[in-house]
Structure 1
Amino acid sequence: MPPQGSPVVADASAAMDARQGGSFAARHGAALAAGATALVLLAVAAALLPRKSLDTPPAPPAHWFDDRGGLVSPGYAGAKSEYLQQYLPLFLHTSVLIVTERSAPSGAIEDYTARAANAWRIGAKGADNGMVLFVFRDPRTVRLEVGYGLEGPLPDVEAKHLVEATLLPKFAAGLYEEGFDDFIFGLEKKLKVYAGETDRTSSATGIVEYVFGVLRQTPRVARSVWTAFGAADAQGRVVLVLFGAVLASLLAYALAGFVEGLLALIQLPWRIATGSALHALSRERLAAEFAPAEFIRRPPRSLVAIATELRLTTIAWGLMCVAGFVVGVAFVGMGTEVFIGERGQFSGAGITTGWSVP
């Protein structure tokens, strides 16, 4: 066996470093090229997207009580937003979103609110226990969208009675905050039976929703910035391009790593048969490298040489890329949950009514 400082060992180390550098460059070069291509394609696609009409569903609200119509004070809206986000999912197993608008959209209000509620996906997947209350300042109209799962405990007749008994009288007197308080209190009373039935079937649901609700919280400054950005980017093109570009680049990077790892795995039998590092392994060399003093100072050189020659790190990297690719694809289906709500569905059930000023 050549001594540690011999030219043979030095040449082997240099060759090993060259192979490592080449593998790194190939992996990252392919990933960056794929990512750059994805960026260009996404930019072109976003530029060619047709502009949406003004009556399409708005971006997901930044708060669970989103007072776009300016009906209540900022302090009241903030307090109710925290209450709706944390208390109702935990104790009543229901997700309730309240949105006020300055004016109603053109066309049928029910079409607009149904599209918005389904786009925001309030409520848990499968349970469909979401509810969205829309209040339009002009022309003084209220629309309550009820998820599939709440149509039983809160049918249209009871929903209409709840709105007319709580919201409309106070709204007619200009007492908007009191009206919202009465509505939430009345809703809680009607949903307690539903919450009790849900507790008997799945006692952990509320805790899970509460944990995810806490995880979704962001600093108020960040949410304010997001709201301003959403107002400026009303068509959603910038968000689409940024999100799509980042996701496509990561998926392309993972795919490139998987291909390289797969090629290394295919070549593994040939490298085992023809490699020199594995055949040069000896018991004496391993004993020397695994001596306590030597092992603490640096990893066993023979094992490092074998791993490099067989490209084991590339194979391991390919496996990690497969896992990352799966997670990325799953995120495409669940990405909307990051912003607000879960995956509840709405059938269009609900009530539409209005209030008058005496």
Structure 2
Amino acid sequence: FVNRLYEAWGIGKKGEDKGILILLTVKERRVRIETGYGVEGILPDGLVGEILDRYVVPYLKQGDYGKGLSNAMIAISTIVAKDAKVSLTGNSPIYKSSAHRTSKGGNLFTLILLVIIMTMLLGTRRGRAMLPFLMLMLFMGGGGRGVGGFGSFGGGFGGFGGGMSGGGGAGRGF
């Protein structure tokens, strides 16, 4: 389903296929990060699975969907920025699962915003410049941040336009 949704929405710039889709289904208790062909080299399935296992699923299990999705976006945007040789200023630290508060406050707006940011911003120079500001706005209103960043990874992608995904990425139940 996620692969068909990715292609139907035209995520990623056509010909480059560097889009990323993060899908959370609360009722089914599933999360998936779908990667386009163009980012599978820098976001291999194993790494995407590690991101889910270490930074996303622990929060989803507690019902804290906002922190789980925020961690997914921070981890992936860090990877993308490093590969694109751009720096993200104002990047919020990734939440640490051992020091978080439980919240039932995940919402559809956050999910939609994450998808839009991940698929469009790094496609243009102007978008890369806006990313820190938009990330700051996304994370305002959250409580109890952890400390630390996300390790050394790389990646890059474009905007909407008809990218293709070969089913790369990873999914987990929670």
> Which interval holds the TM-score relative to the shorter structure?
0.5 to 0.7
1:349 equivalent to 2:171? Answer no
SS at match of 1:142: strand
1:207 equivalent to 2:26? Answer no
SS at match of 2:124: helix
After the TM superposition, which segments of 4 or more aligned residues of structure 1 sit over 4 Å from their partners?
none
Query: What does 1:32-51 align with in structure 2 at a 5 Å threshold?
Result: none
| CA deviation vs aligned residue, 1:117-146 (integer Å, no higher than 9, x gap) | 111111112211101111111220112211
Q: Which residue is 2:95 aligned to?
A: none
Q: Aligned partner of 2:76: which letter? A: L
How far off its partner does 1:207 sit? 3.1
SS at match of 1:133: strand
SS at match of 2:23: strand
Query: What does 1:8-157 align with in structure 2 at a 5 Å threshold?
Result: 112-157=1-46
Q: Aligned partner of 1:207: which letter? A: R
Number of aligned residue pairs:
109
> Runs of 5+ in structure 2 lacking a partner?
87-122, 128-158
SS at match of 1:127: coil
Distance 2:61 2:171 in 1: 16
How far off its partner does 1:341 sit? 2.0
Paired-residue identity, %: 28
Counterparts in 2 of 1:207 and 1:191: CA distance versus 1, 3 Å: closer
**Among 161, 167, 174, the residue aligned to 2:50:** 161
Q: TM-score, normalised by structure 2?
A: 0.56
Distance 2:124 2:4 in 1: 27
SS at match of 2:166: strand
Q: Aligned partner of 2:50: which letter? A: H
How far off its partner does 1:192 sit? 2.2
Contact 2:52 2:72 in 1 (8 A): yes
Distance 2:83 2:162 in 1: 19
SS at match of 2:41: coil
SS at match of 1:346: coil
Distance 2:167 2:63 in 1: 29
Q: TM-score, normalised by structure 1?
A: 0.28
Higher CA-based Rg: 1
> Runs of 5+ in structure 1 lacking a partner?
1-111, 198-204, 211-339
**Among 186, 194, 199, the residue aligned to 2:75:** 186
Q: Which residue is 1:176 aligned to?
A: 65
Q: Aligned partner of 2:162: which letter? A: R
| CA deviation vs aligned residue, 1:268-317 (integer Å, no higher than 9, x gap) | xxxxxxxxxxxxxxxxxxxxxxxxxxxxxxxxxxxxxxxxxxxxxxxxxx
Q: Which has the higher helix share?
A: 1
- Higher RCO, 1 vs 2 (CA within 8 Å, ≥6 residues apart): 2
| CA deviation vs aligned residue, 1:34-83 (integer Å, no higher than 9, x gap) | xxxxxxxxxxxxxxxxxxxxxxxxxxxxxxxxxxxxxxxxxxxxxxxxxx
SS at match of 1:177: helix
Q: Aligned partner of 1:194: which letter? A: D
